[in-house]
Amino acid sequence: MSPPAWKRQLAPAALIAVAAFLAVLPLVLHGCSCGHDFDFHLVNWLEVHAQFQRGVLHPQWAFTAAWGAGEPRFVFYPPLSWVIGGLLGFLMPYTVAPIVYTWLCLFLAGVACLHMVSAVGGDSVNQHRWIPAAIAVTYLGNPYLLFTAYERTAYAELLAAAWMPLLLTALLRERPRWLEIAIPVALLWLTNAPAAVLGCYGLLMLGLLRLVLWPSALRRGTITQFTLGTLFGLLFAAFYIVPAVLDRKWVQAAMAMVEGMRPKDNFLFGHTTDPLHDTVLWQASRIAVVLFAVSLPLVLLLRRDRRARLLGAMTLMILLLLLPVSAVVWHHAPQLGFLQFPWRFLCLQQTIAAVLLTLSVPSLTRIRKNWIMPAGAVAVLAATTVIAHHFYLQQCDEEDAPAAHIALFARGSGVMPTDEYTVRDADNDALQQGNPVWWIAAKPDAPAPALGPGTEMRMRVLGLPPRPEDVTWNTEHTRMQVLWPRSFWLIVNRRAYPAWQVTNNGAPVPITERADGLMAIPLPAGPNDVEIHYHHTPAELLGLVLFFMGILTAILVHRIESQHGRTPL
């Protein structure tokens, strides 16, 4: 009797775990790579970890951003990466958490690829014991994934690479199943918004190509299952998607598309006025050449395979999207420009290359011995790890190292704002560093008073031990008690986002937004018991309703399919 399937997968999974460790070995030996997004993600993890400790299980507001004035970062940035990062802090110090996170993402990517290889390749591939694991190792060690891990430290996009194989597996089935499509679509949206956009565009492209290249008898089922899968995937992630879309009008989201961050500035081998930007762009361009140089010959080798022709057509479409000839598409296609960098489509192309490699196993094993692909996987992993160490690893300056960020976070002085998450009318240039938590003023636009004798009665100074009324400062329900002999303005070092509501002695109080975006609250003379609450917006509540509706409807549809004798997932 053969062992259960899960037992047969233990050895390949262990091999993938070892391969993922070897891929992060330069980080283990030399420390974290302080790549492009390293500061952003590490601060997110520290913030989320602190909020978890305070009992906030689904944070919305980043209190340390904008020098302590905060921003609604977690409303708009998908939750999975920062939830994992926040939880890692309970298990290990944050000096090593980024390395463990990177290993985890590479391991998950390898396991997902292993599932894809087994599903797509079938018996012709699975009969070769170590070849599926070899393809999975090649996938987790491919240059684009390590470029994402080392050079960019784009931790959310790195995690999204684990869901792409699941999506492509579902889309390539002879008879696709909606739930198998919905799950990776939802995971992509809950992990990384650009990856989710390109994943949905990939789904659309592959769906249209199937209608052209697939037998007509399967077209109706393709349309139905692809549509249901996309719809339910969006519903499963609606608690994030709906507020991220509807409440985007309250932040300066367009700042994500400044010069250098636009698609037209990032086509393959392009040039800008920024040499550092061009260096990264050319690195991505060289990786694109490698992936297409692998994919296109495999398409020719497999030209009689219907799935290979489908993926070949998709590879050509992706190649065109990476070239300036597609500028009009990037300008007009809905939300496509949100990707910023056309070469982000390599996140999908690396998965296509793994599928093509899977389909080529019967041909390659006839030409070569069975050991050639495992040996090739080891060679790829070794080569790309060396390349990542020498060309992608970003050495940390003293102020960028994890220990420095941890110390800065502990001091409570805050970090710089993120332009695209800044409240709509706030001016980051007008915002001062080192503002008190709150201060009393005669007019709403008054600057913070200078420190000196007596000011301790008029302000709560950032970094000093909190007074009893200030212990709830970095929470979604803040309470302050102020006694003042005449009417005054209470200036609060918190950005005036519409979700914040203020009451004084139990009655609602209007908020005046200053030029720097801070709250200015008018208060009368006498005792004032001021409370600042974060109220969930209508969009957040709508997202939750749609999420639960999607879950219940999916259960209902699944049961109906079962009762009618169809094969459910």
Closest CA to 324 of 271, 277, 390: 271
Higher pLDDT, 335 or 469: 335
Q: What is the pTM of this model?
A: 0.93
Name the nearest CA neighbour of 442 among 487, 480, 493.
487
Structure tokens at 294: 């692998």
CA distance 384 to 390: 10
Q: Is the pLDDT of residue 568 over 50?
A: no
Residue 506 zone, left/alpha/beta (φ > 0; ψ -120 to 50; rest):
left
pLDDT in tens, 320-340: 999 999 999 999 999 998 899
On the question of pLDDT at 569 being above 70, the answer is no
Work out the number of other CB atoms within 10 angstroms of the CB of residue 447. Answer: 12
The pLDDT score that the predictor gives to residue 129 is: 75
Of 325, 315, 202, the closest CA to residue 270 belongs to 325
Quick one: tokens of 199? 């994943």
Region of 464 (left: φ > 0; alpha: ψ -120 to 50; beta: rest) is: beta
Tokens of 27: 């980080």
Angle at 470 between CA 466 and CA 474, to 5 degrees: 100
Q: Could you report the per-residue pLDDT of 178-204, keeping only the tens digit for each?
A: 999 999 999 999 999 999 999 999 999
Residues in a beta bridge with 479? 531
Query: Residue 411: which pLDDT band, with cuts at 50, 70 and 90?
Result: confident
Q: Is the pLDDT of residue 210 over 50?
A: yes
The two three-digit tokens of residue 302, written as one number: 């497999």
Cα torsion angle, 285, 287, 289, 291, sign: negative
Residue 106 pLDDT level (bands cut at 50, 70, 90): very high
